[in-house]
Amino acid sequence: MISLLQEAVTIAADEHTESVASSVAHGEVETATGLPQLDVTTFANQIFWLIITLLVLYWVVAKIALPRIGSVLSDRQGAMTGDLMAAEEFKLKAKEAEAAYDKALADARSEASKIVAANRAEIQKELDAAIAHADAEIAARTAESEKRIREIRDSADANAREVARDVTAELVRSFGGTVDQAAVDQAVDSRMKGALQ
């Protein structure tokens, strides 16, 4: 392929010598006569400099650039996995703390409810005692009152019976009869029984 190209170029160069000469004679800037890519006279130069450049570039890339970037990338990978692990640890810790907090909260709540229950029981007890005391007092007062009412009623009964007996005796006497004390008592009693019951 290359030799074919060379042949073509040399033929072309032969043909165009005239036009090159004319353009140089005109004092123009150097222009391309034919394809510069096919100018075999510059191939050796290009290949020489290309090989040197590639060697230098290979040395730079292989010895300096790639190891450095590779180490940076692996460092970052390491740092990232380290950070992720640390984050995981922190997450675990946070979870533990949350659990502890929850437990403390539950404890406090149960303690509070215990205290509330105790207080309530105590108050209930006091209340019960007070109610019982009050009941006892009320009962005592009621009994006393009943006793007094009964006394009053009894005395009232006796008085009424006395008055009724007196009145009966007097009525019998005014009608001219003799007063039989026993009969009067009996009559009054039988009458009063119904009224005072």
Span near other proteins by CB under 8 A; candidates 37-45, 89-97, 120-128, 180-188: 37-45
Distance, CA of 56 to CA of 163 (rounded, Å)? 154
Minimum distance of other proteins from residue 35's CB (angstroms): 4
Residues numbered 94 to 133 that lie near other proteins (CB under 8 A) are none
Distance, CA of 146 to CA of 152 (rounded, Å)? 10
| Closer Cβ to other proteins, 7 or 96, answer by number | 7
Which tokens go with 31? 């222009």
Span near other proteins by CB under 8 A; candidates 27-35, 119-127, 139-147, 154-162: 27-35
| Closer Cβ to other proteins, 37 or 119, answer by number | 37
The 52-91 site mask, x for binding other proteins (CB under 8 A), equals: xxx-xxx-xxx-xxx-xxxxxx-xx--x------------
Minimum distance of other proteins from residue 27's CB (angstroms): 14
Told to check if 3 binds other proteins by CB under 8 A, we report no
Q: Which residues bind other proteins (CB under 8 A)?
A: 1-2, 5, 8-9, 12, 16, 19, 23, 29-39, 41-54, 56-58, 60-62, 64-66, 68-73, 75-76, 79
